Structure 1
Amino acid sequence: MVRINQTTTVTEFLFSGFPQFEDGSLLFFIPLFVIYIFIVDTRLHNPMYNFISIFSFLEIWYTTATIPKMLSNLISRQRTISMIGCFLQMYFFHSLGNSEGILLTTMAIDRYIAICNPLRYPTIMTPRLCAQLSAGSCIFGFLVLLPEIAWISTLPFCGPNEIHQIFCDFEPVLRLACTDTSMILIEDVIHAVAIIFSVLVIALSYITIITVILRIPSVEGRQKAFSTCAAHLGVFLMFYGSVSLMYLRFSATFPPILDTAIALMFAVLAPFFNPIIYSFRNKDMKIAIKKLFCPQKMVNLSSDQC
Protein backbone atom coordinates (compact mmCIF):
# COMPACT_ATOMS: atom_id res chain seq x y z
CA MET A 1 0.00 0.00 0.00
CA VAL A 2 1.21 3.48 -0.83
CA ARG A 3 1.21 5.70 2.26
CA ILE A 4 1.44 9.45 2.24
CA ASN A 5 2.46 11.76 5.06
CA GLN A 6 -0.60 12.75 7.07
CA THR A 7 0.11 16.44 6.46
CA THR A 8 0.02 15.90 2.68
CA THR A 9 -3.14 16.36 0.66
CA VAL A 10 -3.90 13.50 -1.72
CA THR A 11 -4.32 14.62 -5.35
CA GLU A 12 -4.76 11.21 -6.95
CA PHE A 13 -5.75 7.67 -6.05
CA LEU A 14 -3.99 4.41 -6.85
CA PHE A 15 -5.96 1.31 -7.83
CA SER A 16 -4.91 -1.97 -6.26
CA GLY A 17 -5.69 -3.61 -9.60
CA PHE A 18 -6.53 -7.25 -10.01
CA PRO A 19 -5.10 -8.98 -6.89
CA GLN A 20 -2.85 -12.00 -7.39
CA PHE A 21 -2.77 -11.51 -11.16
CA GLU A 22 -0.14 -8.82 -11.51
CA ASP A 23 1.87 -10.86 -14.05
CA GLY A 24 -1.14 -11.81 -16.15
CA SER A 25 -2.57 -8.39 -16.91
CA LEU A 26 -2.64 -9.05 -20.66
CA LEU A 27 -4.71 -12.18 -20.06
CA PHE A 28 -7.33 -9.94 -18.44
CA PHE A 29 -6.99 -7.12 -20.97
CA ILE A 30 -7.93 -9.19 -24.04
CA PRO A 31 -11.23 -10.71 -22.78
CA LEU A 32 -12.20 -7.44 -21.08
CA PHE A 33 -11.58 -5.53 -24.31
CA VAL A 34 -13.62 -8.05 -26.35
CA ILE A 35 -16.48 -7.86 -23.83
CA TYR A 36 -16.47 -4.05 -23.95
CA ILE A 37 -16.56 -4.01 -27.77
CA PHE A 38 -19.42 -6.51 -27.61
CA ILE A 39 -21.38 -4.38 -25.14
CA VAL A 40 -21.03 -1.13 -27.12
CA ASP A 41 -21.86 -2.79 -30.47
CA THR A 42 -25.00 -0.87 -31.46
CA ARG A 43 -26.31 -3.85 -33.45
CA LEU A 44 -26.97 -5.57 -30.12
CA HIS A 45 -29.08 -2.65 -28.87
CA ASN A 46 -31.96 -2.52 -31.31
CA PRO A 47 -34.86 -4.18 -29.46
CA MET A 48 -38.48 -3.49 -30.31
CA TYR A 49 -39.44 -2.55 -26.76
CA ASN A 50 -38.86 1.19 -26.17
CA PHE A 51 -38.03 0.95 -22.47
CA ILE A 52 -35.34 -1.67 -23.15
CA SER A 53 -33.95 0.57 -25.89
CA ILE A 54 -33.43 3.30 -23.29
CA PHE A 55 -32.00 0.75 -20.88
CA SER A 56 -29.47 -0.46 -23.45
CA PHE A 57 -28.44 3.14 -24.21
CA LEU A 58 -27.81 3.74 -20.50
CA GLU A 59 -25.87 0.51 -20.24
CA ILE A 60 -23.44 1.49 -22.98
CA TRP A 61 -22.48 4.61 -21.01
CA TYR A 62 -22.63 2.69 -17.71
CA THR A 63 -19.84 0.38 -18.88
CA THR A 64 -17.95 3.25 -20.54
CA ALA A 65 -17.69 4.94 -17.13
CA THR A 66 -15.41 2.17 -15.81
CA ILE A 67 -14.15 -0.35 -18.38
CA PRO A 68 -11.85 1.97 -20.43
CA LYS A 69 -10.04 2.96 -17.21
CA MET A 70 -9.80 -0.71 -16.19
CA LEU A 71 -8.23 -1.49 -19.58
CA SER A 72 -5.68 1.30 -19.27
CA ASN A 73 -4.79 0.16 -15.74
CA LEU A 74 -4.14 -3.38 -17.00
CA ILE A 75 -1.45 -2.22 -19.44
CA SER A 76 -0.04 0.71 -17.48
CA ARG A 77 2.44 0.70 -14.62
CA GLN A 78 0.78 3.80 -13.14
CA ARG A 79 -2.68 2.69 -12.09
CA THR A 80 -3.73 6.10 -10.88
CA ILE A 81 -6.73 8.36 -11.27
CA SER A 82 -7.08 11.99 -10.23
CA MET A 83 -9.44 12.86 -7.39
CA ILE A 84 -11.76 14.73 -9.75
CA GLY A 85 -11.66 11.82 -12.20
CA CYS A 86 -12.46 9.40 -9.38
CA PHE A 87 -15.44 11.45 -8.17
CA LEU A 88 -16.73 11.81 -11.74
CA GLN A 89 -16.39 8.08 -12.33
CA MET A 90 -18.35 7.35 -9.14
CA TYR A 91 -21.02 9.87 -10.06
CA PHE A 92 -21.64 8.72 -13.63
CA PHE A 93 -21.31 5.01 -12.87
CA HIS A 94 -23.81 5.09 -10.01
CA SER A 95 -26.11 7.66 -11.60
CA LEU A 96 -26.42 5.53 -14.72
CA GLY A 97 -26.90 2.45 -12.52
CA ASN A 98 -29.62 4.24 -10.53
CA SER A 99 -31.33 5.27 -13.76
CA GLU A 100 -31.28 1.65 -14.94
CA GLY A 101 -32.73 0.44 -11.64
CA ILE A 102 -35.56 2.98 -11.72
CA LEU A 103 -36.23 2.13 -15.37
CA LEU A 104 -36.40 -1.59 -14.57
CA THR A 105 -38.99 -0.84 -11.88
CA THR A 106 -40.96 1.22 -14.39
CA MET A 107 -40.74 -1.63 -16.89
CA ALA A 108 -42.12 -4.08 -14.32
CA ILE A 109 -45.15 -1.85 -13.79
CA ASP A 110 -45.51 -1.52 -17.57
CA ARG A 111 -45.49 -5.32 -17.99
CA TYR A 112 -47.98 -5.64 -15.13
CA ILE A 113 -50.44 -3.36 -16.93
CA ALA A 114 -49.84 -5.10 -20.28
CA ILE A 115 -50.55 -8.58 -18.88
CA CYS A 116 -53.10 -7.87 -16.16
CA ASN A 117 -55.05 -5.08 -17.87
CA PRO A 118 -54.38 -5.50 -21.61
CA LEU A 119 -57.54 -3.75 -22.85
CA ARG A 120 -56.64 -0.50 -21.08
CA TYR A 121 -52.90 -0.71 -21.77
CA PRO A 122 -52.92 1.50 -24.93
CA THR A 123 -54.83 4.24 -23.12
CA ILE A 124 -52.71 4.06 -19.93
CA MET A 125 -49.18 3.59 -21.33
CA THR A 126 -49.33 6.18 -24.07
CA PRO A 127 -46.14 7.09 -26.00
CA ARG A 128 -46.09 10.41 -24.17
CA LEU A 129 -46.27 8.75 -20.74
CA CYS A 130 -43.56 6.25 -21.71
CA ALA A 131 -41.29 9.11 -22.78
CA GLN A 132 -41.99 10.97 -19.53
CA LEU A 133 -41.27 7.88 -17.42
CA SER A 134 -38.01 7.23 -19.30
CA ALA A 135 -36.89 10.85 -18.92
CA GLY A 136 -37.95 10.91 -15.28
CA SER A 137 -35.94 7.76 -14.54
CA CYS A 138 -32.81 9.32 -16.00
CA ILE A 139 -33.28 12.74 -14.38
CA PHE A 140 -33.96 11.31 -10.92
CA GLY A 141 -31.10 8.83 -11.27
CA PHE A 142 -28.65 11.65 -11.94
CA LEU A 143 -30.01 14.10 -9.36
CA VAL A 144 -30.26 11.77 -6.36
CA LEU A 145 -26.48 11.31 -6.04
CA LEU A 146 -25.44 14.93 -6.45
CA PRO A 147 -25.58 15.79 -2.70
CA GLU A 148 -23.54 12.73 -1.72
CA ILE A 149 -20.88 13.26 -4.40
CA ALA A 150 -20.64 16.95 -3.50
CA TRP A 151 -20.21 15.99 0.16
CA ILE A 152 -17.52 13.40 -0.56
CA SER A 153 -15.60 15.90 -2.70
CA THR A 154 -15.21 18.18 0.34
CA LEU A 155 -13.69 15.47 2.56
CA PRO A 156 -9.98 15.64 3.44
CA PHE A 157 -7.81 12.86 1.98
CA CYS A 158 -4.33 12.83 3.49
CA GLY A 159 -3.23 9.23 2.90
CA PRO A 160 -3.04 6.37 2.25
CA ASN A 161 -4.34 6.72 -1.29
CA GLU A 162 -4.74 3.13 -2.53
CA ILE A 163 -8.27 2.10 -3.54
CA HIS A 164 -8.81 -1.61 -2.95
CA GLN A 165 -11.11 -2.03 -5.94
CA ILE A 166 -10.88 -2.02 -9.74
CA PHE A 167 -12.90 1.19 -10.08
CA CYS A 168 -13.84 4.14 -7.87
CA ASP A 169 -16.64 3.12 -5.54
CA PHE A 170 -18.09 4.77 -2.46
CA GLU A 171 -16.95 2.45 0.32
CA PRO A 172 -13.32 1.97 -0.82
CA VAL A 173 -12.91 5.73 -1.32
CA LEU A 174 -14.57 6.66 1.98
CA ARG A 175 -12.15 4.37 3.82
CA LEU A 176 -9.35 6.71 2.71
CA ALA A 177 -10.92 9.89 4.11
CA CYS A 178 -9.15 11.44 7.13
CA THR A 179 -12.41 12.22 8.92
CA ASP A 180 -15.59 10.61 10.20
CA THR A 181 -17.76 9.45 7.28
CA SER A 182 -20.58 7.84 9.25
CA MET A 183 -23.16 10.37 8.00
CA ILE A 184 -22.43 9.46 4.39
CA LEU A 185 -22.66 5.78 5.25
CA ILE A 186 -26.16 6.46 6.62
CA GLU A 187 -27.02 7.79 3.17
CA ASP A 188 -25.72 4.54 1.70
CA VAL A 189 -28.09 2.64 3.97
CA ILE A 190 -30.94 4.73 2.55
CA HIS A 191 -29.81 3.76 -0.95
CA ALA A 192 -29.80 0.10 0.11
CA VAL A 193 -33.38 0.46 1.35
CA ALA A 194 -34.31 1.99 -2.03
CA ILE A 195 -32.76 -1.03 -3.79
CA ILE A 196 -34.75 -3.42 -1.60
CA PHE A 197 -37.94 -1.42 -2.27
CA SER A 198 -37.37 -1.63 -6.05
CA VAL A 199 -36.78 -5.38 -5.82
CA LEU A 200 -40.01 -5.81 -3.84
CA VAL A 201 -42.04 -3.77 -6.35
CA ILE A 202 -40.67 -5.78 -9.27
CA ALA A 203 -41.12 -9.09 -7.43
CA LEU A 204 -44.73 -8.31 -6.51
CA SER A 205 -45.44 -7.25 -10.10
CA TYR A 206 -44.14 -10.53 -11.45
CA ILE A 207 -45.88 -12.65 -8.83
CA THR A 208 -49.14 -11.07 -9.96
CA ILE A 209 -48.19 -11.42 -13.63
CA ILE A 210 -47.33 -15.12 -13.27
CA THR A 211 -50.57 -15.73 -11.36
CA VAL A 212 -52.56 -14.15 -14.20
CA ILE A 213 -50.63 -16.00 -16.91
CA LEU A 214 -51.19 -19.37 -15.26
CA ARG A 215 -54.94 -18.73 -15.46
CA ILE A 216 -54.83 -18.41 -19.27
CA PRO A 217 -56.52 -21.56 -20.60
CA SER A 218 -54.48 -22.11 -23.80
CA VAL A 219 -50.81 -23.14 -23.83
CA GLU A 220 -50.16 -20.83 -26.77
CA GLY A 221 -51.67 -17.91 -24.87
CA ARG A 222 -49.48 -18.62 -21.84
CA GLN A 223 -46.36 -18.87 -23.96
CA LYS A 224 -47.13 -15.59 -25.72
CA ALA A 225 -47.75 -13.84 -22.41
CA PHE A 226 -44.52 -15.17 -20.91
CA SER A 227 -42.54 -14.09 -23.98
CA THR A 228 -43.62 -10.47 -23.55
CA CYS A 229 -41.91 -10.19 -20.15
CA ALA A 230 -39.19 -12.87 -20.25
CA ALA A 231 -36.49 -10.45 -21.43
CA HIS A 232 -37.22 -7.93 -18.70
CA LEU A 233 -37.32 -10.62 -16.03
CA GLY A 234 -33.94 -11.94 -17.18
CA VAL A 235 -32.38 -8.48 -17.14
CA PHE A 236 -33.89 -7.82 -13.71
CA LEU A 237 -32.35 -11.00 -12.27
CA MET A 238 -28.93 -10.17 -13.72
CA PHE A 239 -28.96 -6.52 -12.67
CA TYR A 240 -30.32 -6.81 -9.15
CA GLY A 241 -28.54 -10.10 -8.51
CA SER A 242 -25.18 -8.43 -9.08
CA VAL A 243 -26.26 -5.26 -7.20
CA SER A 244 -27.26 -7.36 -4.18
CA LEU A 245 -23.91 -9.17 -4.11
CA MET A 246 -22.07 -5.86 -4.42
CA TYR A 247 -23.97 -3.59 -2.03
CA LEU A 248 -26.28 -5.62 0.21
CA ARG A 249 -23.57 -7.60 1.98
CA PHE A 250 -23.94 -5.41 5.12
CA SER A 251 -20.97 -6.11 7.44
CA ALA A 252 -19.70 -9.15 5.55
CA THR A 253 -16.15 -8.90 4.25
CA PHE A 254 -14.71 -10.97 1.40
CA PRO A 255 -11.16 -11.80 0.31
CA PRO A 256 -9.74 -9.33 -2.28
CA ILE A 257 -10.00 -11.85 -5.13
CA LEU A 258 -13.70 -12.48 -4.36
CA ASP A 259 -14.33 -8.73 -4.09
CA THR A 260 -12.77 -8.32 -7.53
CA ALA A 261 -14.88 -11.15 -8.96
CA ILE A 262 -18.10 -9.58 -7.60
CA ALA A 263 -17.10 -6.17 -8.96
CA LEU A 264 -16.46 -7.70 -12.40
CA MET A 265 -19.85 -9.41 -12.32
CA PHE A 266 -21.56 -6.16 -11.35
CA ALA A 267 -19.72 -3.78 -13.70
CA VAL A 268 -18.83 -6.04 -16.64
CA LEU A 269 -20.52 -9.45 -16.83
CA ALA A 270 -24.11 -8.33 -16.13
CA PRO A 271 -23.95 -5.65 -18.88
CA PHE A 272 -22.33 -8.27 -21.16
CA PHE A 273 -25.18 -10.76 -20.80
CA ASN A 274 -28.03 -8.23 -20.76
CA PRO A 275 -27.96 -7.50 -24.56
CA ILE A 276 -28.05 -11.23 -25.19
CA ILE A 277 -31.02 -11.67 -22.87
CA TYR A 278 -33.19 -8.85 -24.15
CA SER A 279 -32.24 -9.23 -27.84
CA PHE A 280 -32.02 -13.01 -28.16
CA ARG A 281 -34.64 -12.95 -30.93
CA ASN A 282 -33.08 -9.99 -32.72
CA LYS A 283 -31.62 -10.88 -36.13
CA ASP A 284 -28.94 -8.14 -35.91
CA MET A 285 -27.71 -9.58 -32.62
CA LYS A 286 -27.28 -13.02 -34.20
CA ILE A 287 -25.28 -11.51 -37.05
CA ALA A 288 -23.07 -9.59 -34.59
CA ILE A 289 -22.35 -12.77 -32.62
CA LYS A 290 -21.49 -14.64 -35.84
CA LYS A 291 -19.04 -11.94 -36.82
CA LEU A 292 -17.30 -12.34 -33.48
CA PHE A 293 -17.05 -16.12 -33.51
CA CYS A 294 -17.38 -17.21 -37.14
CA PRO A 295 -15.29 -16.56 -40.25
CA GLN A 296 -16.40 -13.61 -42.37
CA LYS A 297 -17.50 -15.87 -45.20
CA MET A 298 -20.04 -17.55 -42.91
CA VAL A 299 -21.80 -14.40 -41.75
CA ASN A 300 -24.40 -14.58 -44.50
CA LEU A 301 -25.24 -18.21 -43.82
CA SER A 302 -28.43 -19.19 -42.07
CA SER A 303 -28.47 -19.31 -38.29
CA ASP A 304 -28.19 -23.10 -38.15
CA GLN A 305 -24.97 -23.27 -40.18
CA CYS A 306 -22.50 -21.62 -37.84
Structure 2
Amino acid sequence: MLQLISRFAVCFALVLTAACASKTPLQVDGLAATGKQYATTLKKVNSFALDHTLEFTAGLLPNLPRDNATLLVHTQAMQQRAALLQTTSDYLDMQALYFAELSALAKGGTGTGTTRALRKLVEALNKAPDVGGIPRVSKEAVAGLAGHVASWNHSAQVREELQRSAEPVAHALLLNQHILQEQIQWITQREELARQVEYREKVLKPFVEDKKLGETWKNAWMKYIKQVPTIELLEQAKAASIDMQQAWVNVLRGEGSFEHLQGIFDQLNSNIQAAYNREPITHDPQ
Protein backbone atom coordinates (compact mmCIF):
# COMPACT_ATOMS: atom_id res chain seq x y z
CA MET A 1 0.00 0.00 0.00
CA LEU A 2 2.81 2.39 0.92
CA GLN A 3 4.54 1.55 -2.35
CA LEU A 4 1.36 2.37 -4.28
CA ILE A 5 1.00 5.72 -2.49
CA SER A 6 4.64 6.48 -3.19
CA ARG A 7 4.21 5.76 -6.90
CA PHE A 8 1.08 7.93 -6.99
CA ALA A 9 2.96 10.79 -5.34
CA VAL A 10 5.76 10.56 -7.91
CA CYS A 11 3.27 10.54 -10.80
CA PHE A 12 1.40 13.51 -9.34
CA ALA A 13 4.65 15.44 -8.97
CA LEU A 14 5.55 14.71 -12.59
CA VAL A 15 2.15 15.97 -13.76
CA LEU A 16 2.59 19.18 -11.77
CA THR A 17 6.08 19.67 -13.18
CA ALA A 18 4.84 19.21 -16.75
CA ALA A 19 1.97 21.61 -16.15
CA CYS A 20 4.30 24.25 -14.78
CA ALA A 21 6.72 23.76 -17.65
CA SER A 22 4.06 24.08 -20.34
CA LYS A 23 3.45 27.49 -21.80
CA THR A 24 0.26 29.38 -21.16
CA PRO A 25 -1.57 30.77 -24.22
CA LEU A 26 0.03 34.19 -23.74
CA GLN A 27 3.57 32.88 -23.34
CA VAL A 28 3.82 31.60 -26.89
CA ASP A 29 6.00 33.63 -29.20
CA GLY A 30 3.15 34.65 -31.48
CA LEU A 31 1.47 37.24 -29.27
CA ALA A 32 3.70 40.28 -29.78
CA ALA A 33 4.48 39.37 -33.40
CA THR A 34 0.85 38.83 -34.34
CA GLY A 35 -0.27 42.00 -32.56
CA LYS A 36 2.27 44.01 -34.54
CA GLN A 37 1.38 42.19 -37.77
CA TYR A 38 -2.32 42.86 -37.18
CA ALA A 39 -1.76 46.59 -36.67
CA THR A 40 0.65 46.90 -39.59
CA THR A 41 -1.67 45.02 -41.94
CA LEU A 42 -4.73 47.10 -41.11
CA LYS A 43 -2.67 50.27 -41.56
CA LYS A 44 -1.65 49.04 -45.02
CA VAL A 45 -5.25 48.25 -45.92
CA ASN A 46 -6.38 51.71 -44.84
CA SER A 47 -3.51 53.28 -46.77
CA PHE A 48 -4.46 51.31 -49.88
CA ALA A 49 -8.07 52.45 -49.50
CA LEU A 50 -6.94 56.08 -49.33
CA ASP A 51 -4.58 55.73 -52.31
CA HIS A 52 -7.28 54.03 -54.35
CA THR A 53 -9.85 56.69 -53.47
CA LEU A 54 -7.41 59.47 -54.37
CA GLU A 55 -6.69 57.83 -57.70
CA PHE A 56 -10.24 57.42 -58.88
CA THR A 57 -11.27 60.81 -57.46
CA ALA A 58 -8.47 62.43 -59.46
CA GLY A 59 -9.77 60.64 -62.53
CA LEU A 60 -13.31 61.77 -61.77
CA LEU A 61 -12.64 65.49 -61.19
CA PRO A 62 -11.93 66.49 -64.83
CA ASN A 63 -15.43 65.26 -65.76
CA LEU A 64 -17.21 67.27 -63.05
CA PRO A 65 -18.13 70.98 -63.16
CA ARG A 66 -14.81 72.83 -63.34
CA ASP A 67 -15.34 75.40 -60.61
CA ASN A 68 -13.88 76.26 -57.23
CA ALA A 69 -16.78 74.76 -55.27
CA THR A 70 -16.38 71.32 -56.87
CA LEU A 71 -12.64 71.22 -56.30
CA LEU A 72 -12.98 72.49 -52.73
CA VAL A 73 -15.60 69.89 -51.75
CA HIS A 74 -13.56 66.96 -53.02
CA THR A 75 -10.25 68.31 -51.70
CA GLN A 76 -11.63 68.83 -48.21
CA ALA A 77 -13.28 65.41 -48.21
CA MET A 78 -9.98 63.73 -49.04
CA GLN A 79 -8.08 65.81 -46.47
CA GLN A 80 -10.56 64.76 -43.79
CA ARG A 81 -10.23 61.14 -44.88
CA ALA A 82 -6.43 61.32 -44.67
CA ALA A 83 -6.61 62.86 -41.19
CA LEU A 84 -9.04 60.17 -40.02
CA LEU A 85 -6.74 57.41 -41.23
CA GLN A 86 -3.74 58.99 -39.50
CA THR A 87 -5.70 58.99 -36.24
CA THR A 88 -6.64 55.37 -36.85
CA SER A 89 -3.00 54.51 -37.59
CA ASP A 90 -1.87 55.95 -34.25
CA TYR A 91 -4.58 53.98 -32.46
CA LEU A 92 -3.46 50.76 -34.16
CA ASP A 93 0.13 51.44 -33.08
CA MET A 94 -1.06 51.63 -29.46
CA GLN A 95 -2.74 48.25 -29.84
CA ALA A 96 0.47 46.72 -31.17
CA LEU A 97 2.39 48.16 -28.20
CA TYR A 98 -0.18 46.73 -25.81
CA PHE A 99 0.21 43.20 -27.18
CA ALA A 100 4.01 43.51 -27.02
CA GLU A 101 3.90 44.57 -23.36
CA LEU A 102 1.35 41.87 -22.51
CA SER A 103 3.64 39.30 -24.11
CA ALA A 104 6.54 40.57 -21.99
CA LEU A 105 4.43 40.29 -18.84
CA ALA A 106 3.31 36.75 -19.70
CA LYS A 107 6.92 35.71 -20.25
CA GLY A 108 7.96 36.87 -16.81
CA GLY A 109 8.47 40.59 -17.23
CA THR A 110 7.11 41.48 -13.81
CA GLY A 111 8.89 44.80 -13.42
CA THR A 112 6.97 47.93 -12.56
CA GLY A 113 7.88 49.33 -15.97
CA THR A 114 5.90 46.66 -17.80
CA THR A 115 2.92 46.96 -15.47
CA ARG A 116 2.95 50.75 -15.68
CA ALA A 117 3.25 50.67 -19.48
CA LEU A 118 0.29 48.31 -19.74
CA ARG A 119 -1.80 50.51 -17.48
CA LYS A 120 -1.04 53.61 -19.56
CA LEU A 121 -1.75 51.79 -22.82
CA VAL A 122 -5.11 50.54 -21.56
CA GLU A 123 -5.98 54.07 -20.46
CA ALA A 124 -5.09 55.29 -23.95
CA LEU A 125 -7.13 52.54 -25.61
CA ASN A 126 -10.07 53.53 -23.43
CA LYS A 127 -9.96 56.95 -25.09
CA ALA A 128 -11.13 55.80 -28.50
CA PRO A 129 -10.31 58.32 -31.26
CA ASP A 130 -13.03 60.54 -32.60
CA VAL A 131 -13.43 59.10 -36.08
CA GLY A 132 -15.99 61.39 -37.63
CA GLY A 133 -18.80 59.71 -39.51
CA ILE A 134 -18.34 56.40 -37.71
CA PRO A 135 -20.81 55.63 -34.91
CA ARG A 136 -19.10 55.17 -31.57
CA VAL A 137 -18.84 51.58 -30.42
CA SER A 138 -21.06 50.98 -27.42
CA LYS A 139 -19.27 49.84 -24.29
CA GLU A 140 -22.13 47.42 -23.76
CA ALA A 141 -21.04 45.54 -26.89
CA VAL A 142 -18.07 44.10 -24.99
CA ALA A 143 -19.43 44.19 -21.45
CA GLY A 144 -18.73 41.16 -19.30
CA LEU A 145 -15.61 39.97 -21.11
CA ALA A 146 -13.55 40.22 -17.93
CA GLY A 147 -15.60 37.31 -16.64
CA HIS A 148 -14.20 35.11 -19.42
CA VAL A 149 -10.65 35.26 -18.07
CA ALA A 150 -9.63 31.72 -17.13
CA SER A 151 -8.15 31.68 -13.64
CA TRP A 152 -6.44 28.31 -14.12
CA ASN A 153 -4.55 29.06 -17.32
CA HIS A 154 -2.85 32.37 -16.58
CA SER A 155 -0.38 33.51 -13.95
CA ALA A 156 -1.76 35.74 -11.20
CA GLN A 157 -0.27 38.92 -12.67
CA VAL A 158 -1.43 38.13 -16.20
CA ARG A 159 -4.88 37.20 -14.94
CA GLU A 160 -5.17 40.52 -13.11
CA GLU A 161 -4.04 42.40 -16.21
CA LEU A 162 -6.47 40.55 -18.48
CA GLN A 163 -9.38 41.21 -16.16
CA ARG A 164 -8.55 44.91 -16.30
CA SER A 165 -7.93 45.13 -20.04
CA ALA A 166 -10.28 42.50 -21.50
CA GLU A 167 -13.03 44.96 -22.36
CA PRO A 168 -10.91 47.98 -23.45
CA VAL A 169 -8.91 45.80 -25.87
CA ALA A 170 -12.05 44.13 -27.21
CA HIS A 171 -13.59 47.57 -27.66
CA ALA A 172 -10.55 48.73 -29.66
CA LEU A 173 -10.63 45.63 -31.87
CA LEU A 174 -14.34 46.13 -32.51
CA LEU A 175 -13.76 49.78 -33.43
CA ASN A 176 -11.20 48.65 -36.01
CA GLN A 177 -13.90 46.50 -37.61
CA HIS A 178 -16.33 49.43 -37.70
CA ILE A 179 -13.71 51.63 -39.35
CA LEU A 180 -13.14 49.01 -42.04
CA GLN A 181 -16.89 48.74 -42.61
CA GLU A 182 -17.10 52.51 -43.04
CA GLN A 183 -14.18 52.36 -45.47
CA ILE A 184 -16.09 49.81 -47.54
CA GLN A 185 -19.15 52.06 -47.67
CA TRP A 186 -17.02 55.11 -48.49
CA ILE A 187 -15.28 53.42 -51.42
CA THR A 188 -18.45 51.76 -52.70
CA GLN A 189 -20.31 55.07 -52.93
CA ARG A 190 -17.50 57.01 -54.55
CA GLU A 191 -16.45 54.24 -56.89
CA GLU A 192 -20.00 53.90 -58.16
CA LEU A 193 -20.11 57.64 -58.88
CA ALA A 194 -16.78 57.42 -60.70
CA ARG A 195 -18.04 54.47 -62.75
CA GLN A 196 -21.18 56.34 -63.76
CA VAL A 197 -19.23 59.40 -64.87
CA GLU A 198 -16.66 57.31 -66.73
CA TYR A 199 -19.43 55.42 -68.53
CA ARG A 200 -21.13 58.66 -69.52
CA GLU A 201 -17.97 60.32 -70.82
CA LYS A 202 -16.05 57.43 -72.34
CA VAL A 203 -18.78 55.00 -73.41
CA LEU A 204 -22.16 56.67 -73.85
CA LYS A 205 -21.18 60.04 -75.34
CA PRO A 206 -18.89 58.68 -78.07
CA PHE A 207 -21.46 56.02 -78.93
CA VAL A 208 -24.44 58.36 -79.44
CA GLU A 209 -22.42 61.03 -81.22
CA ASP A 210 -21.93 58.69 -84.19
CA LYS A 211 -18.19 59.07 -84.04
CA LYS A 212 -15.97 56.31 -85.28
CA LEU A 213 -15.57 53.92 -82.37
CA GLY A 214 -12.05 52.60 -82.16
CA GLU A 215 -10.01 50.62 -79.67
CA THR A 216 -10.29 53.33 -77.00
CA TRP A 217 -14.08 53.08 -76.93
CA LYS A 218 -14.01 49.27 -77.04
CA ASN A 219 -11.58 49.09 -74.12
CA ALA A 220 -13.63 51.58 -72.09
CA TRP A 221 -16.82 49.62 -72.71
CA MET A 222 -15.19 46.29 -71.82
CA LYS A 223 -13.67 47.81 -68.69
CA TYR A 224 -17.09 49.02 -67.57
CA ILE A 225 -18.60 45.57 -68.11
CA LYS A 226 -15.82 43.66 -66.36
CA GLN A 227 -14.91 46.12 -63.61
CA VAL A 228 -15.35 44.73 -60.11
CA PRO A 229 -15.56 47.08 -57.13
CA THR A 230 -12.23 47.04 -55.31
CA ILE A 231 -13.67 46.40 -51.87
CA GLU A 232 -12.88 42.69 -51.70
CA LEU A 233 -9.55 43.45 -50.06
CA LEU A 234 -11.30 45.46 -47.36
CA GLU A 235 -13.85 42.68 -46.86
CA GLN A 236 -10.96 40.28 -46.27
CA ALA A 237 -9.43 42.71 -43.79
CA LYS A 238 -12.75 43.02 -41.96
CA ALA A 239 -13.00 39.22 -41.76
CA ALA A 240 -9.45 39.08 -40.35
CA SER A 241 -10.40 41.77 -37.84
CA ILE A 242 -13.33 39.65 -36.68
CA ASP A 243 -10.99 36.65 -36.38
CA MET A 244 -8.71 38.77 -34.18
CA GLN A 245 -11.61 39.60 -31.89
CA GLN A 246 -12.51 35.94 -31.52
CA ALA A 247 -8.87 35.05 -30.88
CA TRP A 248 -8.78 37.62 -28.08
CA VAL A 249 -11.82 36.04 -26.41
CA ASN A 250 -10.30 32.57 -26.81
CA VAL A 251 -7.02 33.71 -25.26
CA LEU A 252 -8.89 35.19 -22.31
CA ARG A 253 -10.51 31.81 -21.82
CA GLY A 254 -7.15 30.08 -22.08
CA GLU A 255 -8.30 28.19 -25.16
CA GLY A 256 -5.80 29.28 -27.79
CA SER A 257 -3.29 31.79 -29.07
CA PHE A 258 -2.85 34.32 -31.87
CA GLU A 259 -0.33 32.25 -33.84
CA HIS A 260 -2.87 30.83 -36.29
CA LEU A 261 -3.69 34.37 -37.45
CA GLN A 262 -0.22 35.00 -38.83
CA GLY A 263 -0.99 33.07 -42.02
CA ILE A 264 -4.18 35.10 -42.53
CA PHE A 265 -2.28 38.37 -42.22
CA ASP A 266 0.50 37.09 -44.49
CA GLN A 267 -2.11 36.35 -47.16
CA LEU A 268 -3.71 39.75 -46.68
CA ASN A 269 -0.35 41.48 -47.09
CA SER A 270 0.24 39.56 -50.32
CA ASN A 271 -3.16 40.67 -51.56
CA ILE A 272 -2.41 44.30 -50.72
CA GLN A 273 0.71 44.12 -52.88
CA ALA A 274 -1.24 42.38 -55.64
CA ALA A 275 -3.88 45.12 -55.52
CA TYR A 276 -1.21 47.80 -55.93
CA ASN A 277 0.18 45.83 -58.88
CA ARG A 278 -3.35 45.40 -60.27
CA GLU A 279 -3.07 41.63 -60.04
CA PRO A 280 -5.85 39.21 -59.00
CA ILE A 281 -6.04 38.68 -55.27
CA THR A 282 -6.18 35.23 -53.73
CA HIS A 283 -8.09 33.72 -50.85
CA ASP A 284 -6.72 32.01 -47.80
CA PRO A 285 -7.51 28.29 -48.06
CA GLN A 286 -9.89 27.15 -45.36
Bin of the TM-score, shorter chain as denominator length: 0.3 to 0.5
TM-score with structure 2 length normalisation? 0.44
* Higher share of residues assigned helix: 2
